[in-house]
C-alpha cells in the first residue's frame, strides 16, 4: 500500500503542564521552532482546560492544529464532567484521540471506543484510534487481540469515512517505559494492521488510513522507526513536553 502523502505527528501532553501560563509557554516555544515550510501535519493535544490557550498561540498560523485527548459520544445532556465532540469542534479541534491505552486501563471498552469513533466521524473530525497489546507472546496471540480491537472499534464505520480515521499503534508495554518497539516490530504491525483493514474495507479504502506509532518515541529513535517501520508518523507522549525534542522528531519525519 502507498504511504500517506502527508505525515502526521500528534503531541499528547496528557495531564501536563500544571498551569495555563506553562501551557502557553510550551505551545509558544513549539511554535517558534516549527518551520513554516514544514510538510508534516502537527497536532497538539493539551488537557481540555488549555485548548483555548493553545489555540491563541496557534493564532491561525497553520503551524499546528488542536487535538483533544478524549471526548464523549453524546452531543449534550446530563453527562456531568464530560465534553462533547461538537463542543470541541466549536473551539477549533480537528483531531480527537480515542481509546488511548491509559483510558482503556481505567475500564474504557471497545464498545465505548466505537461509539466515540462514530461520533467523531459524524462531526467531520478525525479520530486518532489507539490500539496496542499489553504484552507479546511467542504464539502470536497478541495479533488476534489487535485484530479484535480494530474490528470492534471500527464497527459500522463506512468505507468512505476511512479518511477520517488514523490508527495509532501503541504497544502498552512501551508507553512511558523508555523502551520502544523495534523498527522491525513496527513494520510487522503496520503490515498486519493494513491486512486487517483490507479484509474489512477492501485494499483501496484501507490504503487511505494513516498508521502512526506511539510508545517511547524520542529524537533518537524517530527517524529509524519512521523509515524502517514504514509508519505515517507518530503519537508522541512525554517528548512532546520538550519543545526542542518534539520539533526534532517532526524534522526527522519531514526530512524523509
Active site residues: 100, 170
- DSSP code string of 90-159: HTTEEEEEES-HHHHTTT--HHHHHHHHHHHHHTT-EEEEEE--S---TT-HHHHHHHHHHHHHTTT--G
Task: Assess contact for 134 and 178: CB atoms under 8 A.
Answer: no
Distance of CA 10 to the CA centre of its chain: 6
Q: Strand 233-236 to strand 8-12: parallel, antiparallel, or no bridges (unpaired)?
A: parallel
Which of left, alpha, beta for 215 (phi over 0: left; psi -120 to 50: alpha)? left
DSSP, res 161: G
Copy the grid coordinates of residue 41: 501535519
Q: What contacts 140, CB < 8 A, 6 or more positions away?
A: none
Q: Looking at the DSSP assignment, which residues form a beta bridge with residue 236?
A: 11
Three-class secondary structure of residue 39 per DSSP: coil
Amino acid at each position: 500500500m502507498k504511504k500517506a502523502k502527508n505525515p502526521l505527528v500528534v503531541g499528547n501532553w496528557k495531564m501536563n503542564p500544571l498551569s495555563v501560563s506553562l501551557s502557553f509557554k510550551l505551545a509558544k516555544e513549539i511554535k517558534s521552532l516549527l518551520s513554516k515550510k514544514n510538510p508534516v501535519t502537527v497536532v497538539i493535544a493539551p488537557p481540555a482546560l488549555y485548548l483555548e490557550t493553545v489555540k491563541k498561540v496557534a493564532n491561525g498560523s497553520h503551524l499546528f492544529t488542536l487535538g483533544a485527548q478524549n471526548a464523549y459520544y453524546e452531543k449534550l445532556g446530563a453527562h456531568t464532567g464530560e465534553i462533547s465532540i461538537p463542543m470541541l469542534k466549536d473551539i477549533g479541534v480537528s483531531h480527537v484521540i480515542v481509546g488511548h491505552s491509559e483510558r482503556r486501563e481505567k475500564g474504557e471498552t471497545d464498545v465505548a471506543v466505537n461509539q466515540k469513533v462514530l461520533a467523531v466521524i459524524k462531526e467531520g473530525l478525525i479520530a486518532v484510534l489507539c490500539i496496542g497489546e499489553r504484552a507479546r507472546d511467542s504464539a502470536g496471540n497478541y495479533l488476534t487481540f489487535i485484530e479484535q480491537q480494530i474490528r470492534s472499534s471500527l464497527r459500522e464505520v463506512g468505507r468512505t469515512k476511512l479518511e477520517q480515521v488514523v490508527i495509532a499503534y501503541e504497544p502498552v508495554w512501551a508507553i512511558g517505559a523508555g523502551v520502544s518497539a523495534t523498527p522491525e516490530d513496527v513494520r510487522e504491525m503496520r503490515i498486519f494492521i493494513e491486512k486487517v483493514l483490507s479484509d474489512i474495507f477492501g485494499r483501496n479504502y484501507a490504503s487511505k488510513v494513516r498508521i502512526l506509532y506511539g510508545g517511547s518515541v524520542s529524537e533518537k529513535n524517530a527517524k529509524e522507526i519512521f523509515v524502517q517501520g514504514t509508519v505515517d508518523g507518530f503519537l508522541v507522549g512525554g517528548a512532546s513536553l520538550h519543545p526542542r525534542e518534539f520539533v526534532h522528531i517532526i524534522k526527522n519525519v519531514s526530512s524523509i
